[in-house]
Structure 1
Amino acid sequence: MPLSTLIHRSSQPCPNVSEQQALRVLQERYGLSGSLQSLGSQQDLNFRVDAPSGRYVLKICHGTYAVAELEAQHAALGFLRERGLPVPAVIGATSGEQLLALDLDGQPLRVRLLDYIEGQSLTRLKHMEPQLIAELGRLCARIDQALADFNHPGLERTLQWDPRHAQALIAHLLPVLAEGPRKAQVLEAARKAEQRLQPLLEQLPMQAVHLDITDDNAVWQRDDQRQWQLQGVIDFGDLMHTWRIADLAVTCAALLHHAEGDPLRILPAVEAYHALNPLTEAELKALWPMIVARAAVLVLSSEQQLSVDPGNAYSRDNLAHEWEIFDVATGVPFELMEAAILQVAGLDVPAVDLASSAPLLPGLQAGSVMPVDLGVLGRHFQAGNWEQAGIDQQLLSEQAGEQGAACSLYGQYRLSQTHIDNPQEPATFALSVELQLPAGMAVQAPWAGTWQPAAVGQGCLQGEQCSLWLKGLADTPAAGTQVSAGQSLGQSSGLLTVQLCRVAGLQPPAFVVPSRAAAWQALCPSPQALLGFDCNAEPLVDARQLLERRDASFARSQKHYYQQPPHIERGWRNYLIDMQGRSYLDMLNNVAVLGHGHPRMVNEAARQWSLLNTNSRFHYAAIAEFSERLLELAPEGMDRVFLVNSGTEANDLAIRLAWAFSGGRDMLSVLEAYHGWSVATDAISTSIADNPQALSTRPEWVHPVIAPNTYRGAYRGEGSAAEYLADVDAKLDALAAEQRQLAGFICEPVYGNAGGISLPPGYLQQAYAKVRAAGGVCIADEVQVGYGRLGEYFWGFEEQGVVPDIITMAKGMGNGHPLGAVITRREIAEALEAEGYFFSSAGGSPVSCRIGMAVLDVMGEEGLWNNARDVGRHFKARLQALVDKHPLAGAVHGSGFYLGLELVRDRDTLEPATEETTTLCNRLRDLGIFMQPTGDYLNILKIKPPMCTTRASVDFFVDSIDQVLSEVL
């Protein structure tokens, strides 16, 4: 087909066929009746047919389409089906024909009928996971592998989407754009793409390709685990013989619509394709220019189509997406994408040889330069000082001293570049070296080149292989000066920044995001050869290898969050910071109540360690002082404290106290609760989320009562206390009938593992009375919910208006230091003495006691209890607004900084949205937030952040949930 026909065909409107005409064709030619639904197309008509015998797709195109092209599509569908690929079958007419030639009202048309593949496209999916992007790349590779052996005369065609004609089509369609920036952008993008493609064209393999394997033409369905499963590939209208790499280019161009502004998001597709159907180096280098050219063709074609067919809703809706694709494709240098694509395919970008370069700073003695660690673990960073403007330069100046010099490290992830409450990856990777030098030190050209100033005190020496960018100079050459190697470029004004770039005319960024670091390093090599001393950062420990080491040595029953967790080594306030300098909002850590890295904790622990640390059987002041402080917080009548290592140990000890005081062994606990990991506390824990065998492995002395869950329990609502208490009566009656002495009843006053659900009003008042009447003691497990975290109450039992016999606590008592406590009355405490004495090595140590008191001091001084109340009210209100907006958000539980957002698929049946909750938590991690599910169905967000959390962090968190519920679920 000549180019003139191609251009004419690219401008055709869709055929003009009414639904009544289409239904008549179906009845007369296929013997089918039913209803139609338009599926949309750029230049054809596609209808979904719902007939009694099933669903089909009726495809109508212009009669000018060559018969051989359409027959090639049919042959390819049969060819691929024979090889097990999921493509539709062609349905013959009653006459046996697969392709009909018709004339409707003077319009010559061609008509076909295909199977309909159930499912949906991913076109409108707002966020596409890397795994799904890889699946599209893998699908493209499978189709290409199969079509490599397919031949048909109809493949030799001239098609507007064939990248071999991209430049001609762009030139023809460009006038559809008005003069202005947009037109200039398209023209420049096409020029650069052609320039990079031209030397590669003779090396590109050719074969039959689908040429439209996109999010629009792959059909998917979610499985029971909410994972997308491929159902089939449709629309073979662009099938032809051209460059093999064109198929992947089309797929990747479509994926840019899902890239959220980051073109490197296509790399999983490239990697997956290459792993299955290896590409040549020439193909890998041609891929990005072909994608850019495709983006230009897409926008021009849609603009042209709308100009001749302004009523085409399909083209109009797609135009915004195609401009988005173009903007993403042209938003990065070609060289960067080429490097990234080569790297993901396992190929190295050839290094620049700088060995013959002259020294940049001839007067600098290498041994006099002090390298300064500005990374995440840098020892000069403490108490959040990295948040101060100019901190890196201040530290360089301090470390250089009066006579010396200091430098930052190339390739280091700088802590100062992190940001908080931000869903975007921070640009932390340093592509340059900063040197603190004596003012006036001579700077000379390492090679011959042309000097071009960029701003006052900075500019670029453009050499044959590489550009040298300098900042912090005085007395620089004039613009356009030809400089020879060793010639002066000026003098240092104190702080000199040195950066290399192998792309002429490109001024690279000083810092880039970690996901782009490897590609940018290929473009911006280290200036070490010019400086004459080691200025490179040590590579980070591979996070996956570290995880493998953990799994090989650390018992794997001790689980970690996420399948591939970030490598965290630093924390500050309500954030955790990974080794690449990303700060994650911590919505999990009810242990670090004051926040991470609190300087008071550092100083308190260091001072006491420098004095004494031992066990509580020695005599020192701190143990008495801390015990007195804890009793001040306890209800009247409680006058004895035990100090222990953890919440598990506290609850274990509480059980022993109940046994000793009551003389019995039988304990009532509550279903769906968690109390610890020791033998005794595991026995009374029945949360199947923590132990799948919990309900079938209880010892005979444990008697769980029905969980008083007012949201999804056996009885609903705040007036359900009586129904739940009936089960308490039943358990007590059964024990009495067997003449067994009750030891006690342990319960969280607010249901922690269910996301902070309040117990029905009056439940504990009556349960405690019944238990005490039976001779047992009442234990309030405040490990998770107490100590001021609820905001509205200091202790969870206050909400129920009761006073327990024993209080257990831990978690935030030590802000992460191993510390827990049991508070009770003297007669209960002394009942244990008949069984021997008790002590806990770490719980009552001087260090633990001093830290425990410091936590109480800081919580008061910084108003953290009030913060939990005030910000917590705002927090709950914002979460409640999600319930009002999103059907999946079923209910909000809790108060203060112990909240739960329960996700359900149906608000009447309360079917738990377990898989959706997992998806939500994983997506929140991508946005810079740590969150995990809880509950027996793992469908509740367990929200328990440090108590220094701010309203800004709360808003970022809730806004992020809102976004994910809108885009993913």
Structure 2
Amino acid sequence: MPPCDFIPERYQSLGYNRVLEIHKDHLSPVVTAYFQKPLLLHQGHMEWLFDAEGNRYLDFFSGIVTVSVGHCHPKVNAVAQKQLGRLWHTSTVFFHPPMHEYAEKLAALLPEPLKVIFLVNSGSEANELAMLMARAHSNNIDIISFRGAYHGGSPYTLGLTNVGTYKMELPGGTGCQPTMCPDVFRGPWGGSHCRDSPVQTIRKCSCAPDCCQAKDQYIEQFKDTLSTSVAKSIAGFFAEPIQGVNGVVQYPKGFLKEAFELVRARGGVCIADEVQTGFGRLGSHFWGFQTHDVLPDIVTMAKGIGNGFPMAAVVTTPEIAKSLAKRLQYFNTFGGNPMACAIGSAVLEMSRRPLPREEVNQIHEDCKHMGLLVGRGGIFSQTFRIAPSMCITKPEVDFATEVFRSALTQHMERRAK
């Protein structure tokens, strides 16, 4: 396991058996904990978690794809502590700078005309509000989502969620219709050229770079849903840019673009659920919908938005926002509170803002002092360019990785002072 310079505090709270008793007597009986012996976590630091016994774990799940910039990130911590001493909470009936500053920063990261922001508390709540928006704007009821989709566990969003383990034998989420998931890996159509992914199905296909036969087959299934399972006019269509809970499912190239056109022709709006794919999680783009070359009418987001702090948002167009305002005096007690917005702003800065040149220079110098030479690039000279000769060996790569880790650790320690 890679080394970690962080030393956690000594655990001095409830014993493990006592925790099990309390959980059994007072907490939800629904089995959600991972592992036969659930972990009792105590402390987190960046990509690391520590349990009550002092064991260290490399966290590759990030609190269900939520901790976007690291556990207890020093910069985010500092912002949270500062805001905690200034103002914890006031509802949106009053103005406060953190909310307006955050709204401006978030809006700048989305393309026109997605500029009106509704701040809420969770992904389920965001998707419920998006459902209301779609119906209020279109004056229609039916909403389509993929089989295998997960859009929340609240009674309303369970209609959109199409994963069997989350379904109930009780009514809820009426007016929602599932359609076939265009899964080129496990579905009936698709091959090794049908999606942009390093992991491909072993099935061969004869698709050309600009023509995906599997996409055409799945679009026919989507058209069949529109023809048979919903009214002539619909309210909308929900899609995760990549399905998360269903097992990281990617769609064939061009599918969402054509599906969006079909939905809009029926009077519906297109909703991108970015709860798991937003805020740079996909690497190539800040938002998952950008990888499909589409522009949604509504975008929902949560999880990584607050690095684990309860926060979510719905972003839409002025036109759709006005349609909702005509139907509903929408209010949210905790959405957009000062703590959430201050933390959200700090997370956005860690995702997008280049380090000051003098700080990048120091990291560069630290690497050189430890025997590692790397390049620089980017319009702010903020990117380290790593391109070793092809004769490099694994031990040498391990050395370079450790030097770079050490240089970044020193940088974070300097910033925390």
Pick the TM interval, shorter chain: 0.7 to 0.9
Alpha-carbon distance between aligned partners in 2 of 1:793 and 1:728, rounded to the nearest angstrom = 27
Match for residue 592 of structure 1 among 54, 67, 70: 67
Q: TM-score, normalised by structure 1?
A: 0.33
Q: Given the alignment of the two structures, is residue 724 of structure 1 paired with residue 218 of structure 2, yes or no? A: yes
Higher relative contact order (CA 8 A, sep 6+): 2
Aligned to 2:159: 683
Match runs of 1:789-800 below 5 Å: 789-800=281-292
Aligned to 2:143: 667
- Taking only the aligned residue pairs, the percentage that are identical comes to 35
Distance 1:415 1:822, change over 3 A: closer
Match runs of 1:547-946 below 5 Å: 547-557=20-30, 559-589=32-62, 590-612=65-87, 613-688=89-164, 690-691=165-166, 693=168, 701-717=175-191, 718=194, 719=212, 720-734=214-228, 739=231, 741-861=233-353
Deviations 1:530-561 (A, max 9, x none): xxxxxxx9976331331221121011226222
Alpha-carbon distance between aligned partners in 2 of 1:708 and 1:741, rounded to the nearest angstrom = 23
Aligned to 2:414: none
Distance 1:579 1:799, change over 3 A: same
How far 1:636 sits from its partner (Å)?
Answer: 1.9
Report the secondary structure of 1:802's partner residue. Answer: coil
How many residues align structurally?
337
Deviations 1:904-961 (A, max 9, x none): xxxxxxxxxxxxxxxxxxxxxxxxxxxxxxxxxxxxxxxxxxxxxx977xxxxxxxxx
What amino acid is aligned across from residue 859 of structure 1 in structure 2?
S
Match runs of 1:479-558 below 5 Å: 541-557=14-30
How far 1:606 sits from its partner (Å)?
Answer: 2.0
Contact 2:159 2:176 in 1 (8 A): yes
What amino acid is aligned across from residue 564 of structure 1 in structure 2?
K
What amino acid is aligned across from residue 680 of structure 1 in structure 2?
Y
Alpha-carbon distance between aligned partners in 2 of 1:951 and 1:671, rounded to the nearest angstrom = 41
Deviations 1:260-281 (A, max 9, x none): xxxxxxxxxxxxxxxxxxxxxx
Alpha-carbon distance between aligned partners in 2 of 1:628 and 1:547, rounded to the nearest angstrom = 45
Deviations 1:865-916 (A, max 9, x none): x9xxx99xx9xxxxxxxxxxxxxxxxxxxxxxxxxxxxxxxxxxxxxxxxxx
Alpha-carbon distance between aligned partners in 1 of 2:309 and 2:335, rounded to the nearest angstrom = 9
Contact 1:571 1:596 in 2 (8 A): yes
Deviations 1:32-84 (A, max 9, x none): xxxxxxxxxxxxxxxxxxxxxxxxxxxxxxxxxxxxxxxxxxxxxxxxxxxxx
What amino acid is aligned across from residue 557 of structure 1 in structure 2?
V
Alpha-carbon distance between aligned partners in 1 of 2:71 and 2:13, rounded to the nearest angstrom = 23
Alpha-carbon distance between aligned partners in 2 of 1:581 and 1:762, rounded to the nearest angstrom = 48
Root mean square deviation, CA, Å:
2.8
Deviations 1:3-35 (A, max 9, x none): xxxxxxxxxxxxxxxxxxxxxxxxxxxxxxxxx
Deviations 1:833-873 (A, max 9, x none): 1222223222201111111111111223477xx9xxx99xx
Distance 1:579 1:666, change over 3 A: same
Contact 1:765 1:800 in 2 (8 A): yes
Deviations 1:180-214 (A, max 9, x none): xxxxxxxxxxxxxxxxxxxxxxxxxxxxxxxxxxx
After the TM superposition, list the runs of 4 or more consecutive aligned residues in structure 1 that deviate by more than 6 angstroms. Answer: 537-540
How far 1:591 sits from its partner (Å)?
Answer: 1.1
Aligned to 2:391: none
Alpha-carbon distance between aligned partners in 2 of 1:862 and 1:837, rounded to the nearest angstrom = 40
Alpha-carbon distance between aligned partners in 2 of 1:819 and 1:638, rounded to the nearest angstrom = 19
Contact 2:157 2:173 in 1 (8 A): no
How far 1:753 sits from its partner (Å)?
Answer: 2.3
How far 1:676 sits from its partner (Å)?
Answer: 0.6
Distance 1:580 1:708, change over 3 A: same
Contact 2:242 2:249 in 1 (8 A): yes
Distance 1:562 1:743, change over 3 A: same
Match runs of 1:252-267 below 5 Å: none
Report the secondary structure of 1:611's partner residue. Answer: coil
Match for residue 5 of structure 2 among 387, 391, 397: 387
What amino acid is aligned across from residue 707 of structure 1 in structure 2?
C
How far 1:692 sits from its partner (Å)?
Answer: 5.6
How far 1:818 sits from its partner (Å)?
Answer: 0.6
What amino acid is aligned across from residue 29 of structure 2 in structure 1?
R
Alpha-carbon distance between aligned partners in 2 of 1:705 and 1:540, rounded to the nearest angstrom = 49
Extract unaligned runs of 5+ from structure 2: 195-211, 356-377, 388-399, 403-417
Report the secondary structure of 1:757's partner residue. Answer: coil
Distance 1:828 1:539, change over 3 A: closer
What amino acid is aligned across from residue 586 of structure 1 in structure 2?
D
**Structure in which a larger fraction of residues adopt strand:** 1
Deviations 1:415-444 (A, max 9, x none): 48xxxxxxxxxxxxxxxxxxxxxxxxxxxx
Distance 1:593 1:700, change over 3 A: closer
Alpha-carbon distance between aligned partners in 2 of 1:639 and 1:771, rounded to the nearest angstrom = 22
Alpha-carbon distance between aligned partners in 1 of 2:284 and 2:114, rounded to the nearest angstrom = 22
Report the secondary structure of 1:584's partner residue. Answer: strand
